[in-house]
Structures are given as C-alpha cells and as structure tokens.
Amino acid sequence: MEILNLRGIGKSKYKVTALFMGIVMLLCGCRPFSGLTVSDVNTEDGTETMSNDSLISVGFSQLGSESTWRSANTESVKAALSTGNGFFLIFDNARQKQEKQFKAVRGFISQRVDYIVICPVIQDGWDVVLSEAKDAGIPVILLDRYISVADESLYTTFIGEDMYAEGASAGKWLESYLEEEGIAGEDINIVVLEGTSGSSAQAGRTKGFGAIAARHMNWNMLASANGEFTQAKGKETMARLLHEFDDIDIIVCQNDDMAFGALEALNEAGIKTGGKGEKVLISFDGTKQALELVEQGVINVDIECNPNSGDLLSKVISDLEDGNPIEKTYYMDEKVFTKENVSEYIEDRNY
Ligand code: GZL
C-alpha cells in the first residue's frame, strides 16, 4: 500500500505529525511512510508535519497489474487523482487477491478517507466489507468492474465499460465477417480464452458473445478456457487447445494480453491468423500493440475497452463533493477496431 496520506479524525482538514505516526507504524511492524507528500518540515526538532488543506482523500483498491490495460487504468487514476488536482491518493495493488482488497478497504475505513474506489477482481463476496464502509459513512465508487450485491446502495456509482455490449459487438462483427466471406452457412468452430473467472469482464463478454452465438446453430463452441487475462496463461491455454482440437476456425481472446500469448503458441505451431482462409482472431481492449497487429492483418478485430477512466472518476468525485446529482452508472466511450479504421487511432493511443 502506497501511503501518500494519513487522514486524521473526521472530515475536517487536519495536521498529522508524520514522525509520531512513523514511530507508531514502526511499532506496529509497518513500513514508515514511503512517498509521503510533506508540505512543510519543522527543522527545529526534526519533526515533519503534513498539511493537506482542502484535499480530498481517496483510498483506491486496484485489483492487480495483470495486463497492459490494467497498468493504463492505474496510471489514469493516479494522474487524475493527484495532489496537484486536489486529492490525496492511497493506492493498494491487491495482486488479483480479493482478500487483499478486503484488507485494503478496511484500512481505508480505519483511516477515514473521504472516498473508497474499488476495481473488484471478482463480482461476488462484497456485501460485508461494503456494509462496513456504508456504516462508516464513506461513499464507495466501483471502477471498471461490477459486483453482485443484494443491496445496490452499498455503492454510490459505477464507472467503467459495458462488458455485455463488448461481447455482443464481437459476435455481431463475426456475423458480418462470415457473411462477407460467403461462409455464413458453414459449420464454424470457436474457442474462447476467457479472463479471470467470476470477474464481470469475463462474465459480461462471455454472455454478450454467447447471446449472438445462440442465434447460429452452425456456430460450434468447441471450448472456453481460462486465460486469466495474462499473456503467459494465454499462451499456455492456446497451446493446450491446439493440442486438443485440429479444426479451430475462430479464436476469441477476452483481452489483448491473452491474444499476444495465443499468437506465441500459434506461431510456434506454424499457424497464421487474420488472413484469407486463416484462423480468425478476435480480441478485446484495443491496446496500441494490438491495434498495430490489427493494422498488419494478424488480429481481425479488436473491441475497445477504455482504461482511461481517471478523469471521469475525478469529475464524479468533484460532483459528489459539490452535492451535484450523479448517475448510478457511467459507461466509457468504446469503438470496434478493424483493418479498415484502425490506422487513425494508433498514433494517439497512450497504452
Ligand atoms: C476490462 C478489464 C479487463 C481487461 C483486461 O474492463 O477489467 O481486465 O479487459 C484486464 O485486460 O486485465
């Protein structure tokens, strides 16, 4: 946990004696402040005090750093919720472990932050810890991924992407592609490399693509296998599927990192993708590296999933601070990239 700020009692603006807090943390076996933003130092007795007049403290539980997309999402939030923009950000990387997210959220509650932001690694299991945040009077904002809770008042708003729509976009693109190739009536064998099991990204994309696939009796879903949104697992999973099936026509990777891994396995097997009569490769996220592969005709289509939600998050928090009405859901703008349109977007892609 990067501690950029330790909040005192209540919502009032405060002064914290960093030296005292550092000793307390040492006694508790914690690492003293690292990266502490000290606005003034009293050199007479060596104590350091930190004042943060009119800054908004935010505890951010990021699920991990598993993909290019995730790193871009983290950077987007850190850039938007900077001290210069009026925030003190406490950042925690849960390394894909929900238990670590629970621990981070409870830490934010004990530090009485003004807001808690969570990218939930999986959908289930959030009711208890979010009830604790509600009891503490701290608004919770979901970023990127959804949760399944009985009481929707446990979170204030969701800012992210419509995963179901992303999955459906991939299915609709495949319908058009097969029509254009004149093979819409032929048997089509499909494998899917899925992201983190139980995440709203994996569930939404699977359901959205599945709804389109259900319209076609000749679309054979050979297998869906977990690639954990990582390149390494994507390679391993693709290699296993190539070993299992020798008649795969369509490969759906639920993010670019798994597509990069799949391409490693396909290349090692001497199998090409993207071209006429070659296997079709469908991916999600729209990272620069992947868009370059779309332009080269290696990835057939990439469904954008925009990680740059930091500015919108900052605006929503500011609206909450000002007492302005806010929506329960904010979706990011997203595109479908193909060889026909991708070139105009690659240059400016910042992830
Ligand atoms: C989608 C996001 C997914 C990305 C992956 O919003 O949660 O998680 O598609 C990332 O790259 O790992």
3-state secondary structure of 162: coil
Mean pLDDT over each residue of the chain, to the nearest integer: 89
Backbone angles phi, psi at 302, to 5 degrees: -130, 120
Residue closest by Cα to atom 1 of ligand 1: 201
Task: Examine residue 270 and state whether it is found in any structural domain, yes or no.
Answer: yes
Estimate to the nearest angstrom the gap between the alpha carbon of 203 and the chain centroid. 14
Residues with CB under 6 A from ligand 1: 66-67, 69-70, 144-145, 161, 195, 201, 229, 255, 257, 284-285, 305
Same domain (yes/no): 313, 203:
no
**Ligand 1 mutation target, pool 63, 69, 209, most atoms within 8 A of CB:** 69
**Residues 182 and 117 reside in one and the same domain:** no
What's the CA-to-centroid distance between 69 and ligand 1, angstroms?
A: 6
177 and 274 share a domain? yes
- Single out the residue of 13, 58, 5 nearest to residue 320, CA to CA: 58
Q: How far is the CA of 65 from the centre of ligand 1 (A)?
A: 10
* Same domain flag for 314 and 301: no
Phi-psi region of 313 (alpha: psi -120 to 50; beta: other; left: phi over 0): alpha
Distance CA(341)–CA(32), nearest Å, equals 50
b/e per residue, 29-51, with b = 16+ CB within 10 A?
eeeebeebeeeeeeeeeeebebe
Asked if residue 254 lies in contact with residue 205, where contact means CB atoms within 8 angstroms, the answer is yes
Please tell me whether residues 295 and 153 are part of one structural domain.
no
Do residues 291 and 325 share a domain? no
Q: How far is the CA of 182 from the centre of ligand 1 (A)?
A: 33
Compute the distance from residue 82 Cα to the ligand 1 centre, in Å. Answer: 23
Residue with tokens 């093979």: 183
Which atom of ligand 1 is the closest one to the Cα of 145?
7
Tally of domains in the chain: 2
Distance 201 CA to ligand 1 centre (A): 6
Task: Answer whether residue 340 is part of any domain.
Answer: no
Same domain, 24 and 144: yes
Residue with tokens 């999933």: 305
Element (H, E) at 117: strand 115-118
Domain of residue 243 covers 163-305
pLDDT value for 19: 47
In order along its 351 residues, the chain shows pLDDT tens digits of 564 444 443 444 444 444 455 445 444 444 333 333 434 434 455 444 444 568 999 999 999 999 999 999 999 999 999 999 999 999 999 999 999 999 999 999 999 999 999 999 999 999 999 999 999 999 999 999 999 999 999 999 999 999 999 999 999 999 999 999 999 999 999 999 999 999 999 999 999 999 999 999 999 999 999 999 999 999 999 999 999 999 999 999 999 999 999 999 999 999 999 999 999 999 999 999 999 999 999 999 999 999 999 999 999 999 999 999 999 999 999 999 999 999 999 999 989
Helices 163-181/200-213 angle, 10° precision: 30
Domain end (from 290, 305, 320): 305
φ, ψ (nearest 5 deg) of residue 116: -120, 130
pTM: 0.86
* Spatial contact of 282 and 253, defined as CB atoms under 8 Å apart: yes
**Are 57 and 179 part of one and the same domain?**
no
Secondary structure (3-state) at 310: helix
- d(CA 235, ligand 1 centre) in Å: 17
CA proximity to 102, closest of 111, 87, 92: 92
Residue nearest to atom 2 of ligand 1 (CA): 201
The domain spanning residue 114 has which CATH number? 3.40.50.2300
The answer to the question of residue 279 being in a domain is: yes
Rounded Cα distance between 162 and 331, Å, is 6
Q: What are phi and psi of 227, to 5 degrees?
A: -110, 5
Taking only the tens place, the pLDDT of each residue in 137-170 is: 999 999 999 999 999 999 999 999 999 999 999 9
56 has which bridge partners?
Answer: 87
142's tokens: 């979901």
For atom 3 of ligand 1, which residue has the closest CA? Answer: 201
Examine the domain organization and report whether 46 and 167 are in the same domain: no
Q: Which atom of ligand 1 is nearest to the CA of 161?
A: 6
The residues pairing with 142 across neighbouring beta strands, listed in sequence order, are 118, 158
Interatomic CA distance for residues 318 and 312, integer angstroms: 10
Residues 184 and 68 both lie in one domain: no
- Residue 291 falls inside a structural domain: yes
